[in-house]
């Protein structure tokens, strides 16, 4: 006889039977089968007994007996695992009652979580926008922007994302990797329509602009709209501005180029460039026009964005190497000329991928490029806030648990399983998260305009309705409710019913995790507060730092037309002086330029500004030695210069007045010797972010 | 039609009655199989028992767990008063029919 201990009925059949019968009471049936199995193995081989056992399982599973017992079990007091409707409605009722009973706690919980979630939503919007910049172009992966690295003789280098006019066609012609090129330039200008005058931004672009980039046209042929030299493509928004509701195609406006108005005829209407596009436009004009009025074969006066489309599979590094050769052969005379003039800067041309360019601040000249560090910092802050809210939730739940221990005890005595309690508490945190999510959505909606202003973006909550983001946000809610609900659920469901009903559960005092959480929560809050104070200090520094001149009540107006024309700037000066409330007016050239200079045998680059005799007075910059410019000295308009203290120090003069600057090449002014007439106190002419 | 019981049901009821205190699944099955010389499936037997319980002819209780059967308890069955009445009905009916048909049913030629 085989020993009973090592022969068992087929395990799989047992499991199948138990699974099928769920929680019905089938103990006796199961026992009957086992008894029959053991009596069978006395009289038949084991395999046959096992087969019989399987038959019995099948026959019982199909029988009325099991069916009936299963039906009964639905109302069985001990039915667990299967979640039924009445239980869920009980959980929901209890959850809502608990929320309402502890209004204060619920308020703190929901507020915390919704602020955290709202921050996350806004920041997800922001980062999504940042990361998606320029991703919509079909050729995107093959497009590179030409970059210019200007290395000065002292080893300093300046990096630009712009080039001169010639690079585009020259490189595209000589380098097989480059399929095509587009040059662009944005420029603010004045536009005339009939007698009306407008200010607007125009974009000069090569005629393949619309086939190179994926900017769809509403009307017009993408290949031909910019081929005529006086053609113009506008956005519906601009069309509305200039032509109202009339059909814009074929109509003309006058655009000021180089001081005179030129007529351009609308040949196409382009869809508004998306919010997340580096290239933004309202009016697009053919680059050819610019080339015709300002033909320029120079390689070094950089001011145009140049984009290349590389052949599929072409290696940008190869193209870069070839660019060096092309530059060295074609620009040879120009480079030699520059060297002979003592101008030793080297130019290194490079390519940066167009997609992702938005998050690269290495090169100057990419419109609204932003540092990815902002996205990281913001994501960090959002997760900090959310973590604090979650910890808050956990701590409050644990603190409240004492008052709920009786409920848990009673539930357990009645027969609740631990898993049921875990489900209940997780459900409660999920409910809370859903409520918070709704509140968060409202908060995000309401604060979006302010956020847009801060981030200088035009985001819309509808951006959140992206399939990936919806899944992401759903995941966020789920994750938040799991993280914040899981620990309390585990702790609370672990209460022993006897302890919770007769004594007091004594866990709250000695729980290490809860204490750790409080410490983490406080640390995070303090880190955030300190960072905020720090940033506030930075801003105060930037706005209140003594700049070396008086910036109160100072107003700057840029007049394009006056840049080239001195008579206009003089006329403007006298006209502005007559405006009531204006104390003093002083013209100055736009921007700041650095040129190499030579003084007392020293050679170094210096920044210069063109100003008149009122400038120093207007900005209230103190004169340390010598005198200001004056109309009384005729030489002032041609050969006098004011220098600052830093300049004097750099050259090493002890008595700077009357000394000469031997060499200074100013474009449009020629190379002149200048006599120092005065020394002014150092003042900040550059951003405080620069050193 | 209340009170109607089938042949197999009658067999089960009578077997339970004959087994007295020891009437549970396996003993009923084995007893019927031994006496009637036929195999019955456990599913069919328990279905019948369940139906008889539905008709209130049987009552049951769980026994004490033992070392046997993996510690699972047996469910013992017992006839209710209605069960006994139903058996009597069918027996009376049979007896009456037997009496009436004595001559024809005689096995002797």
Flag if B73 and A28 touch (Cβ within 8 Å): yes
What's the gap in Å between the CA of A496 and the closest CA on chain B?
28
Interchain proximity A64–B49, CB inside 8 Å: no
Say which of B43, B62, B69 has its CB closest to residue A35. Answer: B69
The pLDDT of residue A208 is above 80: yes
Confidence bin at A511 (pLDDT 50/70/90): low
- In 3D space, the residue among A200, A223, A208, A234 whose CA is nearest the CA of residue A306 turns out to be A208
CB nearest to A31's CB, from B30, B49, B70:
B70
Is it the case that residue A77 has pLDDT exceeding 50?
A: no
Q: Which of A33-37, A469-473, A612-616, A684-688 has the lowest mean pLDDT?
A: A684-688
pLDDT of residue B52: 92
Res. A466: pLDDT tops 80: no
What would the pLDDT profile of A362-399 be if each residue is shown by its tens digit? 887 777 777 888 888 888 888 888 888 888 877 887 77
Query: By the 8 A CB rule, do A2 and A46 touch?
Result: yes
Beta-sheet pairing, A663-666 with A670-671? antiparallel
CB neighbours of residue A307 within 10 Å: 24
Residue A80 binned pLDDT confidence (cut-offs 50, 70, 90)? very low
Angle in degrees, CA A237, A239, A245, rounded to 5: 100
Least confidently predicted of A6-15, A71-80, A402-411, A654-663 = A71-80
Closest-CA distance of chain B to residue A56, Å: 6
Out of B43, B49, B73, the one facing A31 most closely (by C-beta) is: B73
**Average confidence (pLDDT) over A23-33:** 85
Q: Which chain A residues are within 8 Å of B70, Cβ to Cβ?
A: 30-31, 34
Per the document, the length of chain B is 109
CA distance A37 to A57: 11
Does residue A76 surpass a pLDDT of 70?
no
Mean pLDDT across chain B: 87
Residue B7 has pLDDT above 80, yes or no: yes
The whole-angstrom separation of Cα A33 and Cα B46 is: 12
Rounded Cα gap, residues A622 and A235, in angstroms: 50
Alpha-carbon Rg of chain A, whole angstroms?
39
Arithmetic mean of pLDDT over chain A: 82
pLDDT more than 70, % of chain A: 93
Q: According to the 3-state scheme, what is the secondary structure of A580-599?
A: CCCCCCCCECCCCEEEEEEE
Closest CA to B45 of B56, B33, B37: B33
Q: How far apart are CA A664 and CA A666, in angstroms?
A: 6
Contact B42 A68 (CB under 8 A): no
Q: Between residues A686 and A628, which one has the greater pLDDT?
A: A628
pLDDT of residue B15: 94
Cα separation of B50 and A187, whole Å?
Answer: 92
Task: Say if residues A542 and A690 touch (Cβ distance below 8 Å).
Answer: no
Most confident listed range (A2-11, A498-507, B27-36): B27-36
Contact A185, A304 (CB under 8 A): yes
**Token couple for A38:** 């053991």
Residues of B within 8 A of A28 (CB-CB) are: 24-25, 62, 72-75
pLDDT of residue B44: 92
Q: What share of chain A is helix, strand, coil (3-state, %, to 5)?
A: 50, 20, 35
Residue B28 has pLDDT above 90, yes or no: yes
The rounded Cα A591 to chain-centroid distance in angstroms is 28
Q: What's the pLDDT score for residue A609?
A: 80
A608 close to A648: Cβ distance less than 8 angstroms: no
- What is the C-alpha separation between A595 and A152, in angstroms, rounded? 11
Of B30, B43, B50, the CB nearest to A62: B43
A285-342 pLDDT, tens digit per residue, is: 999 888 888 888 888 877 888 999 988 888 888 888 888 888 888 888 888 888 887 7
* Pick from A34, A55, A66: CB nearest B69: A34
Can you tell me the mean pLDDT for A132-146?
Answer: 86
Query: Distance (Å, rounded) from C-alpha A278 to C-alpha A355?
Result: 10
Task: Report the distance separating Cα A674 and Cα A666, nearest Å.
Answer: 12
pLDDT over 90, % of chain A: 6
Q: What are the φ and ψ backbone dihedral angles of A314, each rounded to 5 degrees?
A: -70, 145
CA atoms of A32 and A141, how far apart (whole Å): 72
Return contacts of A496-505, CB within 8 angstroms, 24+ apart: A497/A408, A497/A409, A497/A410, A497/A412, A497/A413, A498/A409, A499/A409, A500/A405, A500/A406, A500/A408, A500/A409, A501/A406, A501/A409, A501/A410, A501/A413, A504/A402, A504/A405, A505/A401, A505/A402, A505/A405
Q: Give the H/E segment covering residue A676.
A: strand A674-680
**CA–CA distance from B94 to each of A604, B88, B89, B90, B99 (Å)?**
132, 10, 9, 6, 9
Q: Output the six-digit token pair for A188.
A: 């603010």
Give the residue from chain A lying closest to B25, CA to CA: A32
Enumerate the residues of chain A whose CB falls inside 8 A of the CB of residue B62: 27-28
Query: Which 21-80 residues of chain A touch chain B by CB within 8 A?
Result: 27-36, 39, 55-56, 58-66, 68-69
- 3-state SS assignment for residue A612: coil
Which pLDDT score is estimated for A691?
A: 44
Best mean pLDDT range from A425-434, A609-618, B6-15: B6-15
**3-state SS class at A197:** strand
Report the DSSP pairing between strands A157-160 and A143-151: antiparallel
Is the four-CA dihedral A670, A676, A677, A678 of positive or negative sign? positive
Reply yes or no on whether the pLDDT at A489 is more than 70.
yes
Identify the three-state secondary structure at position A321. helix
Residue A510 has pLDDT above 80, yes or no: no
By mean pLDDT, which of A2-16, A30-44, A129-143, A432-446 is the weakest? Answer: A2-16
Q: Report residue B49's pLDDT band, with 50, 70 and 90 as the boundaries.
A: very high
Q: What angle do CA A253, A256, A258 make, to 5 degrees?
A: 150
3-state secondary structure at position A236? helix
As a whole number of angstroms, the distance between CA A658 and CA A672 comes to 15
DSSP state of A556: -
Q: Choose among A487, A505, A486, A485: nearest CA to A495.
A: A505
* A356 confidence band (pLDDT: 50, 70, 90): confident
- Please count the residue pairs, one from chain A and one from chain B, whose beta carbons lie less than 8 angstroms apart: 74
Closest CA–CA distance from residue A66 to any residue of chain B (Å): 8
Per-residue pLDDT band at A205 (split at 50, 70, 90): very high
Checking if the pLDDT of A78 tops 50, the result is no
For A62-177, list the strands marked E by DSSP. 143-151, 157-160
Stretch among A82-96, A159-173, A572-586, B42-56 having the lowest mean pLDDT: A82-96
DSSP for residue A634: T
Q: Is the pLDDT of residue A1 over 60?
A: no
> Which of B30, B43, B74 shows the shortest C-beta gap to A31?
B74
DSSP type of residue A545: S
Minimal C-alpha gap between A29 and chain B (Å):
8
Residues in chain A: 691
Residue-wise pLDDT tens digits, A264-282? 999 999 998 888 888 888 8
Q: Average pLDDT in the A33-60 region?
A: 90
Closest-CA residue of chain A to B73? A28
For A680, the token pair is 């002014």
Q: How many CB atoms lie within 10 A of CB A215?
A: 23
Q: Do B54 and A59 touch (CB under 8 A)?
A: no
Tokens at B23, concatenated: 């009437």
Torsion of CA B15, B19, B20, B26, to 10 degrees: -100
What residue in A sits closest to B61 (Cα-Cα)? A28
Q: Is the pLDDT of residue A113 over 50?
A: yes
Whole-number Å distance between alpha carbons of A231 and A205 = 11
Residues B25 and A318: their CA atoms lie apart, in Å, by: 87
pLDDT for residue A182: 92
pLDDT of residue A81: 46
């Amino acid at each position: 006889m085989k020993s009973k201990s090592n022969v068992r009925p087929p395990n799989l059949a047992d499991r199948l039977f138990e699974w099928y019968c769920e929680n019905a009471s089938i103990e006796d049936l199961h026992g009957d089968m086992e008894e029959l199995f053991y009596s069978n193995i006395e009289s038949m081989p084991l395999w046959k007994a096992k087969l019989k056992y399987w038959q019995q399982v099948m026959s019982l599973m199909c029988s009325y007996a099991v069916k009936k017992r299963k039906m009964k079990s639905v109302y069985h007091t001990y039915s667990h695992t299967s979640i039924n409707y009445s239980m869920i409605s009980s959980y929901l009722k209890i959850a809502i009652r608990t929320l309402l009973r502890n209004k204060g706690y619920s308020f703190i919980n929901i507020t915390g979580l919704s602020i955290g979630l709202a921050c996350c939503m806004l920041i997800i919007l922001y980062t999504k926008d940042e990361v998606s910049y320029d991703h919509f172009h079909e050729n995107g992966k093959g497009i590179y922007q030409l970059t210019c690295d200007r290395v000065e003789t002292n080893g300093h280098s300046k990096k630009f994302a712009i080039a001169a006019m010639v690079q585009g066609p020259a490189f595209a012609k000589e380098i097989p990797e480059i399929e095509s090129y587009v040059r662009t330039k944005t420029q603010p200008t004045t536009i005339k329509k009939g007698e009306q005058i407008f200010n607007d931004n125009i974009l000069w672009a090569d005629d393949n602009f619309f086939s190179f980039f994926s900017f769809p046209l509403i009307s017009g042929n993408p290949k031909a709209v910019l081929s005529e030299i006086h053609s113009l493509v506008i956005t519906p928004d601009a069309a509305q501005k200039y032509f109202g509701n009339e059909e814009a195609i074929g109509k003309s406006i006058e655009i000021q180029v180089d001081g005179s108005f030129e007529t351009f005829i609308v040949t196409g209407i382009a869809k508004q460039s998306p919010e997340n596009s580096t290239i933004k436009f309202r009016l697009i004009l053919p680059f050819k026009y610019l080339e015709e009025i300002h033909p320029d074969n120079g390689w070094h006066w950089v001011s145009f964005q140049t984009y290349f489309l590389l052949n599929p599979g072409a290696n940008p590094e190869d193209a870069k190497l070839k660019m060096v050769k092309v530059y060295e052969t074609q620009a040879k005379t120009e480079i030699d000329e520059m060297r002979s003039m003592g101008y030793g800067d080297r130019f290194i041309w490079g390519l940066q991928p167009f997609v992702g360019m938005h998050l690269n601040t290495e090169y100057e000249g990419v419109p609204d490029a932003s540092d990815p560090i902002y996205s990281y910092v913001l994501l960090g802050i959002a997760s900090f806030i959310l973590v604090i809210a979650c910890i808050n939730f956990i701590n409050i739940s644990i603190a409240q648990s004492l008052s709920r221990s009786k409920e848990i005890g009673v539930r357990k005595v009645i027969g609740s399983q631990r898993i049921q309690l875990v489900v209940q508490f997780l459900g409660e945190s999920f409910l809370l998260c859903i409520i918070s999510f709704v509140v968060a959505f409202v908060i995000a909606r309401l604060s979006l305009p302010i956020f847009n202003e801060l981030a200088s973006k035009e985001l819309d909550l509808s951006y959140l309705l992206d399939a990936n983001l919806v899944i992401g946000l759903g995941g966020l809610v789920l994750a938040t409710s799991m993280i914040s609900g899981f620990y309390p659920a585990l702790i609370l469901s672990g209460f022993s019913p006897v302890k919770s009903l007769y004594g007091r559960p004594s866990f709250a005092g000695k729980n290490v995790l809860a204490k750790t959480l409080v410490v983490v929560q406080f640390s995070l809050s303090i880190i955030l507060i300190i960072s905020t104070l720090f940033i506030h200090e930075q801003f105060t520094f930037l706005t209140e730092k003594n700049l070396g001149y008086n910036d109160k009540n100072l107003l700057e107006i840029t007049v394009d037309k006056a840049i080239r024309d001195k008579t206009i700037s003089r006329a403007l000066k006298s006209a502005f002086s007559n405006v009531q409330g204006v104390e003093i007016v002083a013209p100055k050239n736009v921007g700041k330029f650095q040129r190499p200079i030579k003084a007392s045998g020293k050679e170094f680059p210096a920044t210069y500004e063109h100003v008149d005799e009122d400038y120093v007075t207007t900005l209230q910059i103190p004169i340390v030695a010598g005198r200001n410019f004056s109309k009384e000295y005729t030489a002032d308009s041609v050969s006098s210069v004011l220098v600052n203290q830093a300049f004097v120090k750099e050259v090493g003069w002890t008595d700077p007045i009357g000394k000469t600057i031997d060499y200074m090449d100013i474009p449009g002014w020629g190379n002149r010797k200048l006599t120092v007439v005065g020394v002014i106190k150092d003042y900040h002419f550059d951003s405080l972010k620069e050193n | 039609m209340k009170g109607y019981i089938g042949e197999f049901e009658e067999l089960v009821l009578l077997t339970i009655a004959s087994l007295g205190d020891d009437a549970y699944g396996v003993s009923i099955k084995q007893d019927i199989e031994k006496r009637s010389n036929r195999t019955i499936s456990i599913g069919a037997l328990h279905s019948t028992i369940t139906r008889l319980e539905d008709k209130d002819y049987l009552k049951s209780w769980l026994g004490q767990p033992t070392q046997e059967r993996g510690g699972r308890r047996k469910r013992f069955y017992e006839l209710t008063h209605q069960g006994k009445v139903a058996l009597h009905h069918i027996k009376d009916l049979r007896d009456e029919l037997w009496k009436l048909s004595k001559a024809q049913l005689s096995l002797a030629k």
